[in-house]
Amino acid sequence: MDRETEDILMGLAPNRVSFEVPLAAMTTFGLGGPAEALVEPETVDELLRILEYIRGRRLSWFILGGGSNVLAGDGGFAGVIVRLGKGFSGLRILERRDDRVYIEAGASAATAALLTLARREGLSGVEFLAGIPGWVGGALAMNAGGRDGSIIQAVDRLTLVVAGGRAEEWERGRLRAEYRRLDLPEGAVIVRAVLALTPDAPEAVEARVKDILDRRSATQPRGLRSAGCVFKNPAGDSAGRLIDAAGLKGRRVGSAWVAEEHANFIVHRGKATAAQVMKLIEEVRSEVDNRFGVRLEPEIRIIGRGLEKGSN
């Protein structure tokens, strides 16, 4: 990145721009080389100015949240990582109306913090977030959830920053959600959500949360670096079941391996490279395709340099 671009970015977001920042420090996989620039805007106006400049200069950019579903390349990211700052992390009860409680959640609020608020207030509708790391914005963008529901079911409205330099509010009826995806305009950034939750007995909410946490604890790897489920479930089947049936549990490339506890997790103990993980992803996809005729699609986002071909 040239010095002029660096200077302009610093002027657009004073004290909130860093350079050559390791992506490994910002992802749950703990992998990834340096991003050329990291910008952490604190207000919508600041975000609008930054995106206008990035788009005008045709710089590569990526919006990063809690980093819980991202594989970043060992060669880093040639461009700008935009990560919403603490100004977008607010959580509050907005109003109580028509047997619903409306929660305003900033995009950089942790999903765990949202769930804590719901548990404390005896509010049902986001219990499925138990054990899912990351931020609210990322959870919304990928329509996070599990067998107990997905986050789109709780959405009343979203505030988006869209191309053209403006913020828009989208009501629930305007939103189109798919499995692990929210259909938004290209380049749109979620900055805020209003969620409609249902009052319930706190002990009932706690019981459901505990059940989900117990289930995840019993079926998912613990104490290892991962990005959660690597592949989307194909229609009518489970990616984990297919990978297991292909005999791939325990398959290794370098220091990365397919978890024994859950075949849709790829894990490591801190010594793997992103290239090793990518090569393992390619091997799993190829073998499942050859065995069952199913081409698994990644659920995680894959960004950065050095992932064109997996290597060990």
Q: Is residue 312 part of a domain?
A: no
Count helices and strands in the chain by DSSP H and E runs = 7, 19
Residue 312 confidence (pLDDT):
40
Examine the domain organization and report whether 198 and 95 are in the same domain.
yes
CATH at residue 73: 3.30.43.10
> DSSP 3-state assignment of 60?
coil
Examine the domain organization and report whether 26 and 134 are in the same domain.
no
Q: Is residue 230 part of a domain?
A: no
Known catalytic residue at 282: no
Examine the domain organization and report whether 71 and 34 are in the same domain.
yes
Predicted TM-score (pTM) of the model is: 0.93
CATH at residue 165: 3.30.465.10
Residues 180, 192, 285, 301: which is the catalytic one? 180
Examine the domain organization and report whether 208 and 268 are in the same domain.
no
Residue 146 confidence (pLDDT):
85
Closest by Cα among 21, 87, 19, 9 to 49: 9
Residue 308 confidence (pLDDT):
62
Domain span at residue 55 reads 8-86
Examine the domain organization and report whether 100 and 63 are in the same domain.
no
Examine the domain organization and report whether 214 and 108 are in the same domain.
yes
Known catalytic residue at 229: yes
Residue 169 confidence (pLDDT):
97
Known catalytic residue at 305: no
Residues 40, 46, 127, 299: which is the catalytic one? 299
> What is the sign, positive or negative, of the torsion defined by CA atoms of 51, 55, 57, 62?
positive
Examine the domain organization and report whether 255 and 206 are in the same domain.
no
Query: Looking at 86, 114, 139, which one is the last position of a domain?
Result: 86
Examine the domain organization and report whether 71 and 97 are in the same domain.
no
Residue matched to tokens 């220091």: 255
The DSSP annotation for 82-143 comes to E---GGG--EEEEEEETTEEEEEEETTSBHHHHHHHHHHHTEES-GGGTT--SBHHHHHHTT
Blockwise average pLDDT, block size 10, the chain, 312 residues: 96 96 98 98 97 96 97 98 98 96 98 97 97 96 91 98 92 94 95 98 96 95 96 96 98 98 97 97 98 98 80 40
C-alpha span between 226 and 57 (Å, rounded): 34
Which residues contact residue 271 at a Cβ distance below 8 angstroms, ignoring those fewer than 6 apart?
255
Q: Is residue 3 part of a domain?
A: no
Give the C-alpha distances (Å, rounded to integers) separating 307 from 174, 243, 260, 279, 282: 36, 22, 25, 9, 11
Examine the domain organization and report whether 70 and 109 are in the same domain.
no
Query: Looking at 185, 219, 253, which one is the last position of a domain?
Result: 219
Other Cβ atoms closer than 10 A to 25: 10
Examine the domain organization and report whether 243 and 210 are in the same domain.
no
Q: Is residue 160 part of a domain?
A: yes
Residue 307 confidence (pLDDT):
83
Residues 40, 192, 229, 301: which is the catalytic one? 229
Structural domains of the chain, count: 3
The DSSP annotation for 200-262 comes to --HHHHHHHHHHHHHHHHHHS--SSB--SB-BPPPTTS-HHHHHHHTT-TT-EETTEEE-SS-
CATH at residue 255: 3.90.78.10
For the CA atoms of the chain, what is the radius of gyration? 20
Residue 165 confidence (pLDDT):
86
